[in-house]
Structures are given as C-alpha cells and as structure tokens.
Amino acid sequence: MLRKMFIGGLHWETSDEGLKDYFTTFGKVDACTIMRDAGGRSRCFAFLTFEDPASVNAVMMREHILDGKVIDPKRAIPRTEHQRATKLFIGGLPGTVTSESMREFFGQIGKVIDSTVMLDRETGRSKGFGFISLEDCDVTPILGFGNLEIDGKLVCIILFTIELAVRTDTVVERLM
C-alpha cells in the first residue's frame, strides 16, 4: 500500500515545517518536501510520506485548509503508472455525480487511477466538473461534447494538459 502523497494548491508562504506539523495529526510523517524553483520560491506543491499507509486513507477522507487556502492532497501515483495514465477534464456534470459514481462509470471504459468531482467548499455541492485518470486507454472516441451521457446529461470531455491546468486554475481563482 502506498505511503506517499502529492499535496497541491499550497499557499506560496507555506513552510515545510508547517506542512509537516499539519499532517502529523493524521500519523507519523517520514518525509515532507515542498518543491521549489531555482530561486528557492515555492512551486505550491509538495510530496509527503507517512510511516503508515492508513494515514493516507485518513487524509483522503476530508477537505483540508492550510494557511487560509484549500489544499489538494492526493495519493502519489508511481511514475510507471503516471506515465501510462491519461487525465481527462469532465465538464457539465450533473449534481448527482460523485467521485465514486464517476469512478464506477469510467471503470466501464478502462482502469481508473483517480477520480475527483470538484466540490464547492462552502456548500459541499458539485461545481459541475471533475477529473478522471485512466490507465492505458484510448480515449479518442469519447473526447469532445456529446459523446458520453452521465446520469442523463451529455458531458464535455477534454484531454487534460498543462495549458488547460493553467486556464482552469485561473478560472477557479476568479470564482473564489
């Protein structure tokens, strides 16, 4: 079982010590490193390793706010799996879709590595979009709008790229 986590969405002022202290409430932390650029500035993400894999499960059970910002902890995907995984942006999701029901739906298409429906932090309701990572799967036939229907609603599926990540973060920042 995996003990390593990717922690995204960190505040640029979050320190290694502050991050480690926060996650120590979930179990003993073996290693904690915020990734930094050549100038020493935070890249706003980190890798953290717990002693006990059960701590990872405990972290995944709830939303996390650190230094006034919602952070995004995920299980770290080993490089071999990550290189074979295809990440998709799923837009236009009905409010009835959860991360688990989306995982089950896309499980019919391929092996699901990760499934996340984005939720409003105040209401806990779906924001109408999410992300899915599929392993070794040709997603070409499902890309675009109208090729798949989830819970009675046609959805838009876009191959997730760095460029889309920047645009998505910008849009989300404007909404908050």
Q: How large is the average pLDDT for residues 83-112?
A: 89
Same domain (yes/no): 90, 164? yes
Residues 155, 82 contacting (CB under 8 angstroms): no
**Average confidence score pLDDT of the chain:** 85
Whose CA is closest to 140, among 109, 161, 105? 109
* Predicted TM-score of the model (pTM): 0.49
Q: How large is the average pLDDT for residues 137-151?
A: 81
Same domain (yes/no): 124, 66? no
Domain assignment of residue 145, given as a range: 79-175
And the tokens for 81? 């799996």
Same domain (yes/no): 171, 94? yes
Same domain (yes/no): 38, 94? no
pLDDT digits (tens, 9 = 90+) for 155-175: 999 988 766 555 554 444 443
Whose CA is closest to 148, among 95, 88, 99? 88
Domain count, the chain: 2
Q: Give yes or no for residue 81 having a pLDDT over 70.
A: no
**Of 15, 42, 75, which marks where a domain is finished?**
75
